[in-house]
């Protein structure tokens, strides 16, 4: 593979994908600027961005030799799930010790990638360059914050809010607030949901909660958010610290968080809907 250093990262690509490089470079530069200035997160010492074209290569490329061996030995355990994800994922990130690997689908493949879950969460983006920028910013945010091992809701929420900032506008449908305002919905703790669940509804709820609460912290509690990103907490410690700072109970943590978020953002203008 060929490579090019840019903004503290190294981009790897096949020669036949040269046309995609300029677009990915611009997206990386904008994303790095947004992430470092917004969250004061450092660029990982060894951060590699791969332009992906096939799903088997995107798993193995970038991994150190030892990790490649482990991946090969455990192939039957993850093969089917990852092959399925390849069809709808535009990017991914993985940490191997001090090495952070980010995979971004070639733009021509992103244009062909359906996103059945994202369509229920995000404002539709018809501009391919902005769609690529969104994916790059999202995945680089994961890479830059991976050392914090954030709970999944904040891991995804921070990446989504980073994308808002990078594009200069909200990217999530205002209608998704209804999921947090549904009195008939079982209020599940966000850490009881993971991205491997087979429930589409639970995955959507995880992303929606993560986005709106992280955005709430950014806009109303910036000092609290800075403290959360300044050191590593266990998930229980992090949510306990948030509860203490906001004066809410831990037993009903997400119910009270949902109420705070809905009370603030339901007063704002409705964002565009996907038709």
The reported pLDDT for the residue numbered 60 is: 82
Q: How far apart are CA 236 and CA 255, in angstroms?
A: 17
pTM of the model: 0.90
Q: Are residues 162 and 273 in the same domain?
A: yes
User: Which residues, 6+ apart, have CB-to-CB distance to 267 below 8 Å?
Assistant: none
Q: Are residues 142 and 61 part of one domain?
A: yes
Among the candidates 106, 131, 148, a domain finishes at: 148
Q: Is residue 74 domain-shared with residue 156, that is, in the same domain?
A: no
**Residue 125 confidence (pLDDT):** 94
- DSSP codes, 213-234: HHHHHHHH-HHHHHHHHHS---
Q: Are residues 180 and 112 in the same domain?
A: no
Give the CA diameter of the chain.
56
Q: Which domain holds residue 204?
A: 150-275
Judgement on whether residues 130 and 166 belong to the same structural domain of the protein: no
The predicted pLDDT at position 81 comes to: 81
Choosing from 101, 118, 148, the residue where a domain stops is 148
Query: In terms of domains, do 8 and 105 share one?
Result: yes
pLDDT tens figures, 166-221: 999 999 999 999 999 865 455 555 555 555 555 888 899 999 999 999 999 999 99
Average pLDDT value for the chain = 89
Angle at 140 between CA 138 and CA 143, to 5 degrees: 120
38 and 166 together in one domain: no
Tell me the backbone φ, ψ of residue 51, rounded to 5 degrees.
Answer: -85, 115
- d(CA 264, CA 260) in angstroms, rounded, equals 6
pLDDT in tens, 70-123: 888 888 888 788 888 888 889 999 999 899 999 999 999 999 988 888 999 999
């Amino acid at each position: 593979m060929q490579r090019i250093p840019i903004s503290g990262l190294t981009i790897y690509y096949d020669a036949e994908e040269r046309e995609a490089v300029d677009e990915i470079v611009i997206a990386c530069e904008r994303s790095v600027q947004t992430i470092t200035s917004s969250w004061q997160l450092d660029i990982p010492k060894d951060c590699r961005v791969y332009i992906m074209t096939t799903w088997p290569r995107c798993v193995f490329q970038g991994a150190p030799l030892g990790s490649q061996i482990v991946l090969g030995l455990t192939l039957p355990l993850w093969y089917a799930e990852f092959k399925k994800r390849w069809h709808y994922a535009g990017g991914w990130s993985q940490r191997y010790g001090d090495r952070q690997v980010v995979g971004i689908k070639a733009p021509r493949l992103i244009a062909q990638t359906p996103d059945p879950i994202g369509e229920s969460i995000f404002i539709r983006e018809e501009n391919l360059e902005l769609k690529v920028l969104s994916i790059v910013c999202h995945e680089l945010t994961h890479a830059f914050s991976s050392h914090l091992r954030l709970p999944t809701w904040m891991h995804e929420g921070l990446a989504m809010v980073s994308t808002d900032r990078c594009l200069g506008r909200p990217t999530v449908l205002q209608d998704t607030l209804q999921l947090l305002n549904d009195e008939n919905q079982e209020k599940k703790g966000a850490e009881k949901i993971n991205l491997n669940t087979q429930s589409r509804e639970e995955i959507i709820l995880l992303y929606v909660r993560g986005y709106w609460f992280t955005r709430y912290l950014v806009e109303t509690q910036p000092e609290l958010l800075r403290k959360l990103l300044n050191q590593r907490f266990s998930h229980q410690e992090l949510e306990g610290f948030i509860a203490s700072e906001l004066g809410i109970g831990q037993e009903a943590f997400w119910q009270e968080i949902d109420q705070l978020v809905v009370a603030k953002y339901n007063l704002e203008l409705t964002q565009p809907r996907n038709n």
